[in-house]
Amino acid sequence: MYADRTLKNPFREARLFFGRIVFAMLVVALLLGVVVWRYYQLQVVRHQDFVTQAENNRVHVRAIPPPRGLIFDRNGVLLADNRTGFTLSIVVERAQDQRQLLADLDQLLNLTDEEVERFEKLLKRRHPYEPVPLRYNLSEEEQGVIAVNEYRLDGAEIAAELIRYYPQKEHMAHVVGYVGRINEQETETLDRKRYSGTHMVGKTGLERFYEDQLLGNPGYEYVETNARGRVMRVLEKIDPQRGEDLYLYLDNRLQEIAFAALGEEKGAVVAIETDTGGVLALASAPGFDPNLFVTGISHENYRLLTTSPDRPLFDRALRGQYPPGSTVKPIFGLAALDSGIIPENYKIYDPGFFQLENREHKYRDWKKGGHGSRVGLYDAIVQSCDTFFYTVGVRMGVDRLSHYGALFGLGQKTGIDLPAEATGIMPSREWKRGAYGIAWYPGDTVNTSIGQGFMLATPLQLAVAAARLGTRGQVRPPRVVRAAGEELYHEVAPDAVLDIAPRHWTPVLEAMRGVVHDGRGTARQAGVGMAYEMGGKTGTAQVVGIKQDEKYDASKLAKLQLDHALFIAFAPVENPRIAVGIIVENGEHGSSTAAPVARQIIDAYFAYYPRAGGDVATR
């Protein structure tokens, strides 16, 4: 057999290989036979057994959705709750005749057009054998009616499920947000395993930002069902792991006071606890009832919300971008001192307008005739003198303005633990070239120096800037959530302290005190009878441009064209504990409409929390 081992013999090798392949093919044929026999056994010989097994009495794994974590305010007031509700759903595959079934159910329960419309919408994107909800929160009577008629309602089933409920309704709509049914797009991106059995996902606000913590992990149960798919008994159960509860810095009472203070006005109130960055109130008025969205909002209701001129769905506190107006003056005053452009005792003469060198255009002061001669930094902030800041702003130049604006968080996201906050705009040369493709003009600097022109800020940014001013430059990101589950956030140390010489803060903060407490301060009325000292700054943001030599006349303008009123504040002036940013849309003057709102919030805060520290409710 091994006759010739010295030479490679291709023919012999080929023959050898051929023999082996033939043998291998015989084995392959044998194995194929085994497979065919096996499938024949299963699918033909024992077919009936398996049909019975598949049809009847089957064991099914069902996911048990975890209860979603609850949300509490800092004193344990419930902001988002789970309520047990009974939901009537239809499994189309089990219904004999879907049309007839709907007709029968209509006769028994009087289905509304909305319910049928929503049902049909969900029907289009269901998975096979997925129960499609028809009516939520069935009453006991309705459950009884269904139970009695069960024999002719194949495919209809009632299941108890937890339905999210927001007891504070419109007061917390924007902060807490809401959950809604998982839509098609989300189906693609969400982890199927974690969401098995869960139909809801956080859509906005905290519900969305903390989705991961709130969700929990599903449990499973092995259940035996009959041929109609009804559960006969539970064989084994692995409990779901409930989502983590959220405990907020927010105080529901302050939130309510914010809404009450705004009254019928549109606007936003943001209050921040300076020691922690914790958000005490985050109100955007008008609000809306988030409960509408939980079980699927009807067309009509949605249309009402989206077409209302008051734009209730719009979160003004986080997403509303307004010209910050004179509220930026303390920042730019501080910038002028710190960059050494002006000495502390610098004074100007204010004729009531400002002109760039060799230009005709008059940039006017809000006060006709001006604030007189020898206006210094203190008076310029207390009385909100525009001419002073025009002069100082132009001397500083846009680069310094935008540098210091950025230090106070303007034009940057604050990093709050909520989705989709707006960035605002702190204009600079590069920004303008990027946005408009043209160079920066000196006139732009003039506008920027009083917070007008391109500049935009959100109420949240204003509150953050106020906190940084009041605490002499301590940088803390605003936080809504204090604790999730067992984990406590106690990040109270500032992330950073702004690099500004300590002696420059004092004159600016003193001037902000004067805004409220000086006899000439723009917010002096808000300060009457105040038991503590508040530092603040009023602001007015133009909604319509005013032409040269034309006077702003409120009586001629419709309400929607009135100026926006702004106010930033912190209190007490020494070691402040609370800072606020407020905007009242079309409120005309910060002094008359926005400052009183701040007063009410801060009064309430000191009444509820008289001592510094130890003021966080324990669980």
Q: Which positions are catalytic? A: 326
Among 222, 302, 346, 431, binds another protein (CB under 8 A): 222
Give the separation between CA 482 and CA 175, rounded to whole angstroms. 14
Among 42, 406, 492, 501, binds another protein (CB under 8 A): 42
Among 26, 56, 57, 58, binds another protein (CB under 8 A): 58
- Nearest distance in Å: CB 55, another protein: 8
Give the separation between CA 354 and CA 327, rounded to whole angstroms. 20
**In terms of CB distance, is 196 or 474 closer to another protein?**
196
**In terms of CB distance, is 16 or 103 closer to another protein?**
16
Stretch binding another protein (CB under 8 A), from 10-18, 99-107, 534-542, 572-580: 10-18
Among 26, 33, 46, 343, binds another protein (CB under 8 A): 46
CB distance 65 to 197 below 8 Å: yes
Q: Which residues lie below 8 Å from residue 597, measured CB to CB, with a gap of 6+?
A: 258, 261, 262, 267, 269, 567, 582, 584
Among 26, 34, 147, 488, binds another protein (CB under 8 A): 34
Among 3, 44, 439, 493, binds another protein (CB under 8 A): 44
- Nearest distance in Å: CB 23, another protein: 9
**In terms of CB distance, is 36 or 546 closer to another protein?**
36
Ordered DSSP codes for 576-615: -SEEEEEEETT---IIIIIHHHHHHHHHHHHHH--SSSS-
**In terms of CB distance, is 124 or 556 closer to another protein?**
124
Q: Which residues lie below 8 Å from residue 518, measured CB to CB, with a gap of 6+?
A: 382, 524
159 is a site residue for another protein (CB under 8 A) = no
Tokens of 465: 């800037």
**In terms of CB distance, is 29 or 420 closer to another protein?**
29
Pick left, alpha or beta for residue 45 (phi over 0 → left; psi -120 to 50 → alpha; otherwise beta): alpha
54 is a site residue for another protein (CB under 8 A) = yes
**In terms of CB distance, is 56 or 100 closer to another protein?**
56
- Nearest distance in Å: CB 8, another protein: 6
20 is a site residue for another protein (CB under 8 A) = yes
Residue in 405, 423, 271, 406 with CA at minimum distance from that of residue 331: 405
Helix (H) or strand (E) holding 459, with range, is: helix 459-470
The CA radius of gyration of the chain, in Å to the nearest whole number, is 34
- Nearest distance in Å: CB 200, another protein: 19
Give the separation between CA 446 and CA 562, rounded to whole angstroms. 23
- For the sheet containing 564-571, what is the strand order? 279-285, 267-273, 578-584, 564-571, 535-541
Stretch binding another protein (CB under 8 A), from 45-53, 394-402, 463-471, 509-517: 45-53
- Nearest distance in Å: CB 14, another protein: 7
160 is a site residue for another protein (CB under 8 A) = no
14 is a site residue for another protein (CB under 8 A) = yes
- Nearest distance in Å: CB 80, another protein: 30
Residue count, binding to another protein (CB under 8 A): 46
26 is a site residue for another protein (CB under 8 A) = no
53 is a site residue for another protein (CB under 8 A) = yes
Q: List Cα–Cα distances, 282 to 174, 259, 475, in angstroms.
A: 8, 10, 19
Number of CB atoms found within 10 A of residue 156's CB: 22
- Nearest distance in Å: CB 216, another protein: 21
Q: Which residues lie below 8 Å from residue 382, measured CB to CB, with a gap of 6+?
A: 511, 514, 515, 518, 520, 521, 522
38 is a site residue for another protein (CB under 8 A) = yes
AA letter at 36: V
Stretch binding another protein (CB under 8 A), from 14-22, 249-257, 363-371, 387-395: 14-22
- Nearest distance in Å: CB 231, another protein: 13
**In terms of CB distance, is 127 or 551 closer to another protein?**
127
98 is a site residue for another protein (CB under 8 A) = no
| Contact pattern for another protein over residues 112 through 151, marking x by CB under 8 A | ---------------xxx----------------------
Q: List Cα–Cα distances, 362 to 184, 358, 443, 550, in angstroms.
A: 57, 11, 10, 12
Among 10, 434, 437, 545, binds another protein (CB under 8 A): 10
**In terms of CB distance, is 52 or 506 closer to another protein?**
52
Number of CB atoms found within 10 A of residue 436's CB: 11
Stretch binding another protein (CB under 8 A), from 26-34, 211-219, 309-317, 468-476: 26-34
13 is a site residue for another protein (CB under 8 A) = yes
24 is a site residue for another protein (CB under 8 A) = yes
Among 26, 33, 49, 359, binds another protein (CB under 8 A): 49
- Nearest distance in Å: CB 537, another protein: 50
Question: E strands, 291-440, where?
Answer: 347-350, 353-354, 363-364, 372-376
Q: Which residues lie below 8 Å from residue 426, measured CB to CB, with a gap of 6+?
A: 402, 405, 406, 410, 411, 412, 455
**Rounded to 5, what percent of the chain is helix, strand, coil?**
40, 20, 40
CB distance 76 to 619 below 8 Å: yes
**In terms of CB distance, is 226 or 355 closer to another protein?**
226
Give the separation between CA 514 and CA 534, rounded to whole angstroms. 9
21 is a site residue for another protein (CB under 8 A) = yes
Tokens of 452: 């007008």
Stretch binding another protein (CB under 8 A), from 47-55, 274-282, 455-463, 610-618: 47-55
CB distance 136 to 163 below 8 Å: yes
| Contact pattern for another protein over residues 178 through 207, marking x by CB under 8 A | ----------x-------------------
CB distance 98 to 156 below 8 Å: no
Give the separation between CA 297 and CA 407, rounded to whole angstroms. 42
Q: State whether the Cα torsion 448-517-252-618 is positive or negative.
A: positive
- Nearest distance in Å: CB 120, another protein: 19
Length of the chain: 619
CB burial string 269-297: b at 16+ within 10 A, e below:
bbbbbbbbbbbbbbbbbbbbbbbbbbbbb
| Residue numbers at the binding site for another protein (CB under 8 A) | 2, 5-8, 10, 13-14, 16-18, 20-21, 24-25, 28, 31-32, 34-36, 38-40, 42-44, 46-47, 49-51, 53-55, 58-61, 127-129, 188, 222, 235-236
